[in-house]
């Protein structure tokens, strides 16, 4: 039975684009709930400037208040040196650095060239100097909404440069839901062959309905680490009405049904997913919560007894 | 390049559960549009009692008014002998018969035992006597919401009995979205081996988010015929809020991106999918219409020019 390691990103990636501030206590309670469910990793928050992302201005407080469960890694997004200092103080288990593999997306999203991002992240990695494991999320690895195709060689080039700096892992992100399963299989096979020592995580969006098909293709190719967001929260500004991140519970439900060991208490997870619309104040895309587990059976109508 | 054959079921399976009657002209216009897009097959309507399904009371009129395009098969649902007479008069290209592989679902849905359904459909097949090719849709083949698991042997038993009666094809239906990709691969491999001469179509629902993952698993196993519903229309009464049929355009968009030859003019198809909410009066689950095609590029913000 293959073990799958899931990282839930709802309180960072999911909450980040929500319009109304979510109270610190709600964040802490949700993270504590996810810890109980058996996630391998939880992306708790981001140490960006509170002015840039007011939603995550309580990063220190959240990190200080959550109950840490043994076996769960609490990772945080670190954008720069100042963020790294704060993250070190908060005793995060992993620092997640981010840049785009597409030049235009990096300029639009991080407001600097890829080379400037790479230089800044190099500084962070050198500053941390092995005190905390580093993961790098490579955005737009399966396509950029402004540039189109991003050649696989570009992703592999950045992967190599970060591997040379000693990072522990890379997350290959389909930031706007452009990946298809053939592309995912090719990417997964090549990266595993070229970087056998790196922890490789795949991060999909369900923007065009292909999210779980891409999870399937990656798992078939041997990928065992995935990002997901409770309820499928976290959208894409380029596609109003479209889904965002894959829903953690939908992906976990599928992999579990297929016989993978996800380590997750699925009924408990669905309980927290069911509370999410109350926390964010709107419906969320996750399907399993609405439909129930595959084998949650329904009663038969009583008239059938007269027909037999 | 593998050719994939798509059957759109929106005007029958999709419209059937809509609360408000959809005017005959809207149905005809939509079917004519789907014909232009290049579908291999379109499930136009059902020759059931107009009292049982008022939405499809215009079956004769629709069949008489659509423009038939060479290369497109116009199939109709035929529940019984009376339906077969009407379908013959309407010159449908194929008759689609339906029964469930689960006893409880057949009782709840068709109000008779499986054996009574099988006997009735046998009568229909003998009456038609080769004048029109017959397809049989086997509902709940991947699980029943009341019984739970339906063993693969049961599906294969009914497949054998219908093969012995000379049907041309079988549609293996995941009626309430319970299938997972491992189950689908197993089913697809076994049925193709045991029934190499039957046209096998797979019919998935996206109730638990696994619809396109199941299409992927079936296509990987060699299945080349799929049902889909424009916009993902057609729900499941057991799962309010959950998706119904897989969206034809989302599935076709994925297979096309993977390099399959779907024979479909995708931009034209998206145009018709975009009109669907106007026809039915509510939003529909299809994602690609909301997000746009993968390589519909977006303009970059102008500020990036100052950053380079």
Interchain CB distance below 8 Å, A206 and B286:
no
For residue B166, pLDDT beyond 90: yes
B181/A254 Cβ within 8 A: yes
Q: How far is it, in rounded angstroms, from Cα B124 to Cα B138?
A: 16
- Rounded mean pLDDT, A191-200: 98
Q: Which residue does chain B place closest to A107, by CA atoms?
A: B304
* Cβ atoms of A108 and A69 closer than 8 Å: no
CA distance B126 to chain A (A): 25
Structurally, chain B folds into a number of domains equal to 1
Rounded to a whole number of angstroms, the distance from the CA of B241 to the nearest CA of chain A is 6
Give the pairing type, strands B73-77 and B94-100. parallel
Subunit contact A209:B247, Cβ cutoff 8 A: yes
Residue B299 has pLDDT above 90, yes or no: no
Given a contact cutoff of 8 angstroms between Cβ atoms, the answer to whether A50 and A86 are in contact is no
Whether A298 and B242 lie within 8 Å, measured CB to CB:
no
Calpha distance A285→A241 (Å, rounded): 10
For residue A239, the chain B residues in CB contact (below 8 A) are: 290-292
Residues of A whose CB is below 8 A from B290:
239-242
Backbone angles phi, psi at A243, to 5 degrees: -70, 160
Mean pLDDT of B94-99: 98
Q: Mean pLDDT, to the nearest integer, of A185-205?
A: 98
CA B38 to chain centroid:
16
Catalytic-role residue among B37, B144, B173, B236: B236
What are the tens digits of pLDDT across the range B115-129? Answer: 999 999 999 999 999
CB–CB of B195/B164 below 8 Å?
no
Q: Per-residue pLDDT averaged across A290-306, rounded? A: 86
Domain with residue B282: its CATH number is 3.20.20.70
Task: Return the residue of B nearest to A302 by Cα.
Answer: B108
B69 pLDDT more than 70 = yes
Residue-wise pLDDT for B44-58, tens only, equals: 999 999 999 999 999
Residues in chain A with CB shorter than 8 Å from the CB of B298 are 145-146, 238
Range list of H helices, chain B = 24-37, 59-65, 81-89, 103-110, 114-128, 152-164, 181-194, 211-220, 248-257, 266-280, 288-291
- Do A307 and B253 make contact, defined as CB atoms within 8 angstroms? no
C-beta separation of B141 from B101 below 8 A:
yes
The shortest CB-CB distance from B239 to any of A210, A257, A290 is to A290
- Which residues in B lie closer than 8 A to residue A178 (C-beta atoms)? 294-295
Q: Which of B210, B211, B297 shows the shortest C-beta gap to A145?
A: B297
Tell me the mean pLDDT in the region B159-175: 98
pLDDT digits (tens, 9 = 90+) for B212-264: 999 999 999 999 999 999 999 997 655 556 678 999 999 999 999 999 999 99
Task: From chain B, pick out residues whose CB is under 8 angstroms from the CB of A216.
Answer: 181, 213, 216-217
Mean pLDDT along residues A195-220:
97
Q: How far is CA A106 from the centre of its chain?
A: 19
**What burial class does residue A120 get, using C-beta atoms within 10 Å of its C-beta: 0-12 exposed, 13-18 middle, 19+ buried?**
middle
> In A, which residues are within 8 Å of B239 by CB distance?
290-292
Name the β-bridge partners of B261: B3
Q: Do A108 and B257 touch (CB under 8 A)?
A: no
Pick B242's closest partner by Cβ from A181, A287, A294: A287
- pLDDT tens string B192-206: 999 999 999 999 999
Q: Which of residues A226 and B237 earns the better pLDDT score?
A: A226
CA–CA distance, A247 with A231 (Å, rounded to integer): 5
- Chain B: nearest CA to A114, how far in angstroms? 10
For B208, the closest of A146, A180, A250 (CB atoms) is A250
Q: What is the pLDDT of residue A200?
A: 98
Nearest CA in chain B to A182: B258
Which of B141, B287, B293, B295 to mutate to probe the A interface, most A CBs <10 Å? B287
What residues are paired with A205 via a beta bridge? A245
| DSSP H or E stretch at residue B169 | strand B169-173
Chain B residues with CB under 8 Å of A294 CB are 143, 178, 180, 208
What is the least distance, in Å, from the CA of B66 to any CA of chain A? 31
pLDDT of B297 reads 86
**What residue of A is the nearest CA neighbor of B298?**
A146
CB A265 within 8 A of CB A36: yes
Tell me the residue range of the domain where B20 lies. 5-306
Whole-number Cα distances in Å, A99 to A96, A109, A151: 10, 9, 16
Catalytic residue flag (residue B173): no
User: pLDDT (tens digit, 9 = 90+) per residue, A52-88?
Assistant: 999 999 999 999 999 999 999 999 999 999 999 999 9
> Would the CB atoms of B208 and A253 count as touching at under 8 Å?
yes
Nearest to A300 among B146, B240, B288 (CB): B146
Distance between CA atoms of residues B84 and B259, nearest Å: 39
pLDDT class for A302, splitting at 50, 70, 90? confident
% of residues, chain B, pLDDT over 90: 90
Answer yes or no: do A209 and B238 touch at CB < 8 A. no
Pairing of strands A134-139, A169-173: parallel
CA distance A298 to chain B (A): 5
Cα of B172 to nearest chain A Cα, Å: 18
Nearest by CB to residue B148, choosing from A210, A212, A297, is A297
């Amino acid at each position: 039975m293959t073990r799958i390691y899931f990282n839930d990103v709802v309180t960072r990636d999911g909450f980040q684009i929500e319009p109304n501030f979510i109270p610190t206590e709600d964040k802490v309670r949700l993270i504590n709930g996810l810890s109980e469910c058996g996630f391998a990793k939880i992306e708790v928050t981001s140490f960006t400037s509170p002015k840039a992302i007011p939603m995550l201005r309580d990063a220190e407080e959240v990190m200080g208040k959550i109950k840490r469960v043994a076996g769960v890694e609490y990772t945080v997004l670190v954008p720069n040196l100042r963020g790294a200092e704060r993250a070190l103080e908060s005793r995060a288990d992993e620092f997640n650095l981010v840049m785009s593999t597409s030049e235009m997306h990096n300029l639009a999203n991080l407001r600097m060239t890829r080379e400037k991002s790479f230089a800044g992240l190099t500084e962070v990695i050198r500053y941390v100097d092995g005190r905390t494991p580093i993961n790098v999320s490579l955005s737009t690895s399966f396509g950029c909404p402004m540039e189109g195709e991003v050649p696989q060689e570009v992703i592999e080039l950045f992967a190599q440069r970060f591997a040379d700096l000693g990072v522990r892992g890379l997350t290959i992100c389909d930031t706007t839901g452009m990946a298809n399963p053939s592309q995912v299989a090719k990417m997964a096979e090549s990266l595993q062959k070229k970087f056998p020592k790196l922890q490789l995580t795949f991060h999909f969006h369900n923007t065009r309905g292909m999210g779980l098909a891409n999870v399937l293709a990656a798992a078939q190719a041997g990928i065992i680490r995935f990002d997901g967001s409770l309820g499928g929260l976290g959208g894409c500004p380029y596609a109003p009405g479209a889904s965002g991140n894959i829903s953690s519970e939908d992906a976990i439900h599928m992999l579990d049904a297929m016989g993978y060991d996800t380590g997750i208490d699925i009924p408990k997870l669905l309980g927290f997913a069911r509370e999410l619309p109350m926390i964010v104040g709107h419906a969320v895309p996750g399907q399993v919560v609405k439909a129930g587990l595959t084998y949650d059976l329904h009663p038969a109508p009583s008239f059938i007894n007269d027909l037999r």
